[in-house]
Amino acid sequence: MQIYDVIILGGGPSGLTAAIYTARAKLNTLVIAGNPAGGQLMLTTEVENFPGFINGIMGPELIDNMRKQAERFETTFKDENVTKLTGSVKENFKVITDTGSEYTGKTIIIATGASARWLNIESETRLRGKGVSACATCDGFFFKGKDVAIVGGGDSAMEEAIFLTRFANKVYVLVRGTQSEMKASKIMQEEAMHNPKIEFLFNTQIKEVLGEEAVTGLSLISTDTKNETTLAVQGLFIAIGHNPNTGFLEGIIDLETNKYLKVTNNTKTSIDGVFAAGDVGDFRYRQAITAAGLGCMAALDVEKYLKTLH
């Protein structure tokens, strides 16, 4: 039976960075990358804020480069989804996937990331990366001088709306309910509402995203009057939250109230020998570069931890 020094759950920037470090340290490394593999960067077009790429790089290409780099150091990859994690350091960990396969490892790095919540309408899915985005700090730069809309009523939506005013000509904030029903703090609401570039549309939800090859507008419906209107915009940002990919860990490992991994000392979880990396434990920054940095830290902690076992 093959026993890996470390099994990394997740094939995004945190998991791949961790694999580069552990494999270079001559640790027998398995990455269960997911299916489809690659994380949120696979839904991103041009990435201009990842260091080292003067003219930017496409999200899928960046993931492909990272994976090939990890493979060069003899990392093993399985494009499968984890369904169960059992075991301990004393008896080794068992990882079971959706194919029915079982893998054994001395340590685990959980780098399964978080998934943006979407509106789940066909036109939104079709136009992702073509004007529809779930990350204003990632993609706002591409909307210089354009009109955009953002969906959401929480603090993150207010922060991203304010951020977008650095580039966009006009930012519409679409809120499903009334102002009194918004979850954003009063101070964030006031800052957004006093920004001359921002306009709030309350009792509003999106029926369809308009456009064929790029976003040209939105078909809106009033939750109050049921009237339908059209709003001309060239970009749509979804800011209704993220779901950490921790469903398979509930009842097994300690989670925060928001279901993110509970992490101490940067990468440690509540289970000895299990470490966390990237967005699965980071609900604040959610950037490819911070995820990669946490992947590096988790790998170094695993390497140090394995030495103590001997």
Q: What are phi and psi for residue 215, nearest 5 degrees?
A: -70, 130
CA 163 to chain CA mean position, Å: 19
Is the CB of residue 108 less than 8 Å from the CB of residue 236? no
Beta strands in the chain (DSSP E): 3-9, 29-32, 46-47, 57-58, 76-78, 82-88, 92-97, 102-110, 114-116, 132-133, 147-151, 170-174, 198-201, 204-210, 217-222, 228-231, 235-238, 242-244, 274-276
Catalytic residue among 64, 98, 139, 155: 139
**H/E segment holding residue 155:** helix 155-164
Respond yes or no: is residue 296 known to be catalytic: no
CB–CB of 41/33 below 8 Å? no
**Residue 109, token pair as written in the block:** 């790095």
Four-point Cα dihedral 279, 283, 288, 293, nearest 10: -70
Contact, 286 vs 292, CB < 8 A?
A: no
Overall size of the chain counted in residues: 310
Q: In degrees to the nearest 10, what's the CA dihedral of 273, 270, 279, 22?
A: -10
The Cα 222–Cα 236 span in angstroms is: 18
**Considering 5, 138, 279, 301, which one is annotated as catalytic?**
138
User: Does the active-site annotation cover 139?
Assistant: yes
Chain centre to alpha carbon of residue 182: 24
| Structure-token pair, residue 111 | 């780098």
What is the amino acid identity at position 225?
T
Catalytic residue, candidates 79, 98, 135, 282: 135
Which residues are identified as catalytic?
135, 138-139
